[in-house]
């Protein structure tokens, strides 16, 4: 049986753009007619997605699968670590939560997970033409004794490695050469090319440095990829979150998102980041919420602890002002939805040591945390109530990942939902006036929903809506990213490394 060729994208550090470049390559080679699958053996992220069978995987692999035009599966990210504290993570294996562990405990457990990784990669290689593998962090974390995500995977797949450095961080040439110098000889020999990412302006000024590192290391530079701007594709790494004080310029609508300590699935906001005239700010100060037109309370891995953090910083009072002054919208997503309610109960200490806490009291709901996690894909339509009324009847699709069971005692439901191939069978969410909450991650991917939300905010602000709002789709963005990345890379050299001809279909 023929097994798929493999190529691995590694980086000099976290957040250098591995996920985006892997997604772009998925699109490029899928457009060339190849059956492409992404793969990341071990991922650490609070941005998760849900597969058809209800399994959790890293959001980046779901995006990469969509770019490749294939359905995401748990084999594409067999090990997912979801941080719950500085020294503890939930461990998800083949899409299912298997408990929690400190880092020291995980280093003892990790060797037993190798067989799971091997099985997943083998299944992907049997059913695809090409597997594009993403590494994690840096391949030269020399203080760590366990590597389930970088050079050991490259050796397993016999995959050539492309090493990516981010010029925005500064010192990109030193980062690339330093990484190569710390690799063991066998691992260094696997590095077949270097890529400089996030170049602004004229890339030709890099030529002397490119020529020098190529001559000194013997590894060719396969391209200098331009900076693709905000929200080119959904990002995974929390290093990409924006901070207080970001210049909003002449933005028509400003959206404030509390930067919770355990923020989860913040990629929900990226369709809004990509909208023209919309500024999304991740904030930690109450005055930043006072200056916004829309407040979005995002998801959280530890909802009760993050709710306490909101109160410590006075953000709760700012959110209440936003909800009551009639000029702004307040939206809660998943954990943020729970926070907007009347109470949160955790008698079994599923999320934290806190047993019970009052919510912000903006929605008539009560949430009780349970050990069994809900992970499911959903689809349906927007209902007619609340700030999304202009999108009534429009389709919406997404996924749920939460441990809380929420009882609703009033308000107006937001969505009519179904699961799998079923018709709509239940409602989700609650809206009261200018406040609404929902469990549906990914709902902002709906163009009509974004147009309705931003239009409602513009009406309250008494500014004209932008006619372009809601027009962009993820499919459009995959193609634009693939075009720009493809134009910057030596695709013929990459195709030769993988023995996967590009052909006319990639143009």
Closest Cα to residue 409, out of 357, 439, 366, 362? 366
Q: SS3 for 300-353, per residue?
A: ECCHHHHHHHHHHCCHHHHHHHHHHCCCCEEEEECHHHHHCCCEEECCCCCCCC
Clarify whether 334 is annotated catalytic.
yes
Q: Is beta strand 426-428 parallel, antiparallel or unpaired with respect to 5-11?
A: unpaired
The contacts of residue 245 (CB under 8 Å, 6+ apart) are none
Helix axes 474-488, 18-31, angle to 10 degrees: 90
- The DSSP secondary structure of 132-184, one letter per residue, reads EEE--S-TT-TT-S--SSSHHHHHHHT--EEEEEEGGGS-HHHHHHHHHHHS-
Query: Which listed residue (379, 441, 443, 500) is catalytic?
Result: 441
Question: Which two three-digit tokens encode residue 425?
Answer: 């069978």
* Neighbour-count burial for 296-306, b at 16+ CB within 10 Å, e otherwise: bbbbbbbbbbb
Distance (Å, rounded) from C-alpha 133 to C-alpha 153? 9
Distance (Å, rounded) from C-alpha 434 to C-alpha 330? 6
Report which secondary-structure segment, H or E, holds 272.
helix 270-273
Query: Which listed residue (26, 334, 403, 500) is catalytic?
Result: 334
**Are 313 and 283 contacting, i.e. CB atoms less than 8 angstroms apart?**
no
Catalytic residues: 334, 441
């Amino acid at each position: 049986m023929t097994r798929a060729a493999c190529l691995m994208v590694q980086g000099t550090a976290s957040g250098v753009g591995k996920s985006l470049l892997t997604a772009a390559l998925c699109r490029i080679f899928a457009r060339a007619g190849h059956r492409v699958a992404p793969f990341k053996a071990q991922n650490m992220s609070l941005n998760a997605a849900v597969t058809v069978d209800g399994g959790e995987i890293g959001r980046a692999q779901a995006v990469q699968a969509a770019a490749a035009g294939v359905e995401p599966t748990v084999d594409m990210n067999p090990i997912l670590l979801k941080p719950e504290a500085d020294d503890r993570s939930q461990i998800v294996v083949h899409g299912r939560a298997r408990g929690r562990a400190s880092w020291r405990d995980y280093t003892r457990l990790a060797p037993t997970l190798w067989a799971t990784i091997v099985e997943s990669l083998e299944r992907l290689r049997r059913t695809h033409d090409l597997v594009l593998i993403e590494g994690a962090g840096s391949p030269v974390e020399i203080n760590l004794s366990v590597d389930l995500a970088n050079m050991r995977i490259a050796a397993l797949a016999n995959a050539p490695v492309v090493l990516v450095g981010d010029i925005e961080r500064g010192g990109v040439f030193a980062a690339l050469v330093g990484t190569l110098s710390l690799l063991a000889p066998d691992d260094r020999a696997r590095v077949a090319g270097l890529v400089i990412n996030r170049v602004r302006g004229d890339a030709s000024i890099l030529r002397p440095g490119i020529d020098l590192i190529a001559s000194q290391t013997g590894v060719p530079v396969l391209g200098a990829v331009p900076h693709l701007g905000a929200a080119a594709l959904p990002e995974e790494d929390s290093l990409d979150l924006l901070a207080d004080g970001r210049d909003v310029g002449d933005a028509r609508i400003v959206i404030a998102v509390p930067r919770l300590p355990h923020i989860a699935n913040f990629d929900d906001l990226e369709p809004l980041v990509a909208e023209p005239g919309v500024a999304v700010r991740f904030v930690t100060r109450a005055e930043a919420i006072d200056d916004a037109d829309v407040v979005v309370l995002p998801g959280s891995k530890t909802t009760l602890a993050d709710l306490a953090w909101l109160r410590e910083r006075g953000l709760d009072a700012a959110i209440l002002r936003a909800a009551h002054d009639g000029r702004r919208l307040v939206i809660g997503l998943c954990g943020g939805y729970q926070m907007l309610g009347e109470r949160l109960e955790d008698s079994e200490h599923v999320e934290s040591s806190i047993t019970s806490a009052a919510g912000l009291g903006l929605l008539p709901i009560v949430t009780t945390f349970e050990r069994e996690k809900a992970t499911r894909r959903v689809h349906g339509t927007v209902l007619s109530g609340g700030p999304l009324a202009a999108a009534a009847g429009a389709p919406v699709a997404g996924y749920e990942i939460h441990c809380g069971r929420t009882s609703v005692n009033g308000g107006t439901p937001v969505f009519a939902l179904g699961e799998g191939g079923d018709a709509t069978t239940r409602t989700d969410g609650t809206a009261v006036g200018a406040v609404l909450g929902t469990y549906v991650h990914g709902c902002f991917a709906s163009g009509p929903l974004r147009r309705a939300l931003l239009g409602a905010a513009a009406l309250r602000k008494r500014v004209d809506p932008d006619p372009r709002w809601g027009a962009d789709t993820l499919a459009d963005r995959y193609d634009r990213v693939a075009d720009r990345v493809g134009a910057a890379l030596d695709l013929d050299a990459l195709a030769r490394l993988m023995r996967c001809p590009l052909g006319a279909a990639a143009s």
